[in-house]
Amino acid sequence: MEDQSIVSALFLGLIEGLTEFIPVSSTAHVLLTGHFLGFKSPGNTFAVLIQLGAILAILTVYTTKLLGIALSLPNDPRSRRFVLSVLIAFLPAAVIGALAHDFIKSVLFETPIMMCIVLVLGGIVLLWVDRLELRPRYTEVMDYPLSLAFKIGLCQCVAMIPGTSRSGATIVGALLLGTDKRSAAEFSFFLAMPTMLGAFVLDLYKNRSALSFDDGAIIAIGFVAAFVSAVLVVKALLDFVSKRGYAPFAWWRIVVGSVGLIALLAGF
């Protein structure tokens, strides 16, 4: 295991954790950075498998709330409806992701120019949505109607195109469907748990024969880095978007996508 690979894995893990839960597309950031660093992983599994670190970050930050929901399930209809809403929102991505997995990994993950274009276009959309004078009807994730959760789940499917951003697709969809900014981000956190775990298990199974011990060590380094940085982001994000909105992330997408596109067209 080369020192360069260790440093690259550490750096990419930090990027994953810092970008997973903000609407800038962690997958595009990790894949594009890996491209420019010359970092390779079998079947591009690294970008998916280190997401487990980000999943555990949510579990860590929301341990008390998740435990409270779990303990109240037998007697609290509100908790049962919330869990059902998250599962319903997860269902579209589970079906489409399983059916289109090979196409996504072999075609879409191998198209860095498209990722950059999608980053820019997504930034423009996010900037437009952030400036709309929307009147939220839903401000508490525990009270989202099941129909709303399913529609947000459909929006999440757009994020299978690298560069779109899973959190970005769910947040934009939720805002347009009548939620406020804070609860949209929070529901995106909860929806990430089954979605990212499902992607992790499927990708690990599909690439089980291609992974070696060194690959496992590199993934473990990226996993730890993603966990630590994601904890910091999850703790700070809700207060940030409540005060500042999503415009800073929109401009970041536009800048990163534009710089990446110029670099790729220049032959880097």
CB 189 within 8 A of CB 233: no
User: pLDDT tens, position by position, for the chain (268 residues)?
Assistant: 455 578 888 888 899 888 888 888 888 888 888 888 887 765 567 777 787 888 888 888 888 888 999 999 989 999 999 999 999 999 999 999 888 877 776 677 778 888 899 999 999 998 998 888 888 999 999 999 999 999 999 999 998 888 888 888 999 999 999 999 889 988 998 998 898 888 878 777 777 666 666 667 888 888 899 999 988 887 787 778 777 888 899 999 999 999 999 999 988 7
Q: What is the pLDDT of residue 63?
A: 87
pTM of the entire predicted model:
0.83
Please give the C-alpha separations between residue 126 and each of 130, 150, 205, 217, 221, in angstroms, as whole numbers.
6, 21, 34, 37, 32
Q: What is the pLDDT of residue 154?
A: 95
Q: What is the pLDDT of residue 4?
A: 56
